[in-house]
Chains A and B, each alone.
Chain A
């Protein structure tokens, strides 16, 4: 069925370390792909998005590339900060025949230590 699989957390890194959070999806067609972030005590916020194959979404130093051939959308950041500590959710949606509902992964908690 349709699903999103993320690498399990928690992920603990030192400040300025390189971050990768893996995400793969199972869906037919050409979904749009998203990373949402949930900071402690706050609601979900869109971090970045990509709407077609080979698109790269980027925001706040984070990047993710839509890889149709591997059905992946891995999140990367070259140098993490303590303020990046949060839970990150990978998600996809299909607009035209599914109303745009989001299918989320289980989330990956990131903890960045000074």
Chain B
């Protein structure tokens, strides 16, 4: 296994268009996270899945954003009607999470998808 992969690595789109990103986590990892990182800032949490269930969504995730993880493996993040403010690096991470016995939560990050909205 080569780690978390994301596709595409770069996406340039025009305002108002829809875009979809894909994340493939490390195969045995049951938790998958999406973060957004703007220039000069740390990543900000967007949402996470445990298996196929989406358990938390940040207030940053407006109605134009939707994420899925249909079979508990790969995940997609879709942004509808993109705006210039959506321009950022979108990061995916995965981890092996449990129900209480996990002492820490080491998340492994993918290389990110850089979105530019013109």
Q: Which residues of A contact B (CB under 8 A)?
A: 4, 32, 36, 42-46, 49, 51, 89, 91, 93, 95-96, 98-107
Contact = CB atoms under 8 A, between A and B. Distances in A.
A89 B107 CA distance: 14
Given A44-B109, A105-B42, A107-B40, 14 more contacts: A44-B91, A45-B109, A46-B106, A46-B108, A49-B104, A89-B42, A93-B104, A95-B102, A95-B105, A100-B48, A102-B35, A102-B43, A107-B41, A107-B42
B33 interface: yes
B85 interface: no
B29 to A, nearest CB: 12
Interface of B: 4, 31, 33, 35, 40-45, 48, 50, 55-56, 91, 93, 95, 97, 100, 102-112
B50 A99 contact: yes
A103 B45 CA distance: 7
Nearest to A104: B42
Contacts of A45: 109
Contacts of A99: 31, 48, 50, 55-56, 97
A10 to B, nearest CB: 11
Contacts of B102: 95, 100
B48 A104 contact: no
Given A32-B105, A49-B104, A96-B100, A43 B42 contact: no
Contacts of A32: 103-105
A86 to B, nearest CB: 14
